Amino acid sequence: MLRRYFPRISAAAQREERIFYLFILPWLIGLVVFSIGPVFGMLGLSFTDWRISLDDLQFVGFENYAKLFDDPIFWVSVGNTLYIVVGRVVFGVSFALLLAILLNQKVAGIAFFRAVYYLPTVTAGVAVALVWIWIFNPRLGILNYTLKQIGIQGPPWIFSKTWVKPSLILMSMFSVGPIMIILLAGLQGVPKELYESAEIDGAGHWDKFANVTLPMLSPVLFFVIIISVVSSFQNFTEIRVMTEGGPGESSNVLIWYLWENAFIFLQLGIAAAVAWIMFVILMLLTGAQFWVGRRWVYYEAEA
């Protein structure tokens, strides 16, 4: 049995193998100590009444999970997280696709625009989150002022329960840089002949987009959607700097709920359970996409 996975190999090959494992050793240690270890440690700790000290842990079975499922705020934060995930996937990815299509046009100065569109992504952090508080200011902010100029009474953005989540989604649309670039590279990989033959068949812009671009781009689109789902779970900075989960609980997302439980309420057992649930939700979402992806993603090799 073991022989099948580890067939006999020559001395030279054995030496190469030793070097291989030596070279990946740092990563391997890191994987065990900082990723895999913590994942299972977290699972174990989620079944304890852990608060501050690890010394007198009591095994409490599923009590933490039961408490979570009874906590209405937990469900609010699950709902908020999914709201933001869907918003970022739908609006963020379509917007990134629009930007990528624009950047794929052969016009002068395109490299400049590419840099400009990418800029907010690299600077996304505390400094820019602070600027956005100011931009979103309902009375004095530039956003509502601009809207007023074109005759629209702007909403109170992050200061209102209904608008806080759309505001965060809008803000995240400014940092779609990586997925924009990936989509752009995907667009540039579509063979020109396909467009040419579509044109011979009399296809217009829309036909070409729907029947050539989208199918050819679907594997890339699929990858990009997975990335944007994962990154939607990592929006801690904005929440911490701009809303702290508020107003009320309207921007309380799972990562914030986890943070509050772990480091403010010091209920680490519960926080471990939240982390584990987050982990499972992410795996389910990614798994679901692979399952759905089989139906809509077009791989050239199969054709």
Site for another protein in 146-205 (CB under 8 A): 174, 177-178, 181-186, 189
CB 121 within 8 A of CB 177: yes
Q: Do the beta carbons of residue 256 and residue 236 sit within 8 Å?
A: yes
Cα 59 to Cα 66: distance, rounded to the nearest angstrom: 14
Q: Using CB under 8 A, which of 1, 3, 6, 302 touches another protein?
A: 6
Q: How far is the CB of 97 from another protein (least distance, A)?
A: 13
Binding mask of the shown chain, residues 268 to 287, with x at each position contacting another protein by CB under 8 A: x--xx--x--xx--x---x-
Residue of 1, 3, 7, 206 interacting with another protein (CB under 8 A): 7
Residues 6+ apart with CB under 8 A from 245: 239, 251, 252, 253, 256, 257, 260
Footprint (CB under 8 A) of another protein, residues 224-253: 224, 226-227, 230-231, 233-234, 236-237, 240-241
- Alpha helical stretches, state H, the chain: 2-5, 11-30, 37-45, 63-70, 72-87, 93-103, 110-122, 126-135, 142-149, 164-172, 177-188, 192-200, 205-208, 214-232, 236-238, 254-259, 268-296
When asked if residue 33 is in the footprint of another protein (CB under 8 A), the reply is yes
In terms of CB distance, is 90 or 98 closer to another protein?
Answer: 98
- Nearest CA to 277 among 85, 78, 73? 78
Residues 58-97 that bind another protein (CB under 8 A): none
Count of residues binding another protein (CB under 8 A)?
A: 94
Residues 106-135 touching another protein, rule: CB under 8 A, are 107, 113-120, 122-128, 130-135
Per DSSP, 300 falls in state G
299 makes contact with another protein (CB under 8 A)? no
CB of 9 to another protein, least distance (A): 7
Q: Are 176 and 92 in contact (CB under 8 A)?
A: yes
Find the shortest distance in angstroms from Cβ 82 to another protein. Answer: 16
Q: Nearest approach, Cβ of 92 to another protein (angstroms)?
A: 14
Nearest distance in Å: CB 220, another protein: 6
